[in-house]
């Protein structure tokens, strides 16, 4: 964790954690997940996920907020393998569907 930023805009208050991601001791990316609390009567909150994606795996990091004592950040990190290839497979399926829907050519 490289730092915690807190601030306020006209519509919401936010907390953002700056994280340095390493793999096998090598720096790979800086991630900045964020939590927002909107200034409505309901005090609705939302999180913005930080994502680092490669063809091999995706790293999702979620900042849930500060702990009850205010001394610790609650962060969840998930590594999902091969998500990139699911999207590639979906594109191949759409292209295949389009090809099968083309009208058949008449052979003389």
How many folded domains does the chain comprise? 1
Q: Greater confidence, 65 or 15?
A: 15
- The DSSP secondary-structure symbol of 106 reads P
- Report the distance separating Cα 39 and Cα 14, nearest Å: 11
User: Can you give the pLDDT at residue 32?
Assistant: 96
Domain membership flag for residue 82: yes
Domain membership flag for residue 7: yes
Tell me: the pLDDT tens digits for 36-89? 999 887 889 899 999 999 999 999 999 988 878 877 889 999 999 999 999 999
Domain that residue 48 falls in: 3-101
**pLDDT tier for residue 13 given thresholds of 50, 70 and 90:** very high
Domain membership flag for residue 96: yes
b/e burial code for range 50-61 (CB count within 10 A of at least 16 → b): bebeeeeebbbb
Adjacency order of strands within the sheet including 50-53 = 50-53, 57-66, 73-81
State the average pLDDT for the chain.
Answer: 91
User: Can you give the pLDDT at residue 86?
Assistant: 93
Coil/strand/helix, residue 54: coil
- Report the distance separating Cα 59 and Cα 61, nearest Å: 7
Domain membership flag for residue 35: yes
pLDDT at 107 over 90: no
pLDDT at 16 over 80: yes
Domain membership flag for residue 108: no
């Amino acid at each position: 964790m490289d730092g915690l930023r807190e601030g306020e805009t006209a519509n919401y208050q936010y907390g953002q954690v700056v994280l340095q991601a390493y793999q096998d001791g090598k720096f790979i990316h800086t991630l900045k997940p964020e939590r927002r609390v909107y200034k409505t009567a309901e005090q609705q909150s939302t999180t913005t996920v930080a994502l680092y994606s490669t063809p091999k795996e995706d790293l999702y990091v979620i900042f849930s907020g500060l702990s009850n004592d205010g001394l610790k950040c609650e962060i969840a990190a998930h590594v999902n393998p091969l998500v990139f290839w699911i999207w590639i497979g979906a594109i191949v399926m759409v292209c295949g569907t389009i090809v099968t829907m083309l009208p058949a050519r008449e052979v003389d």
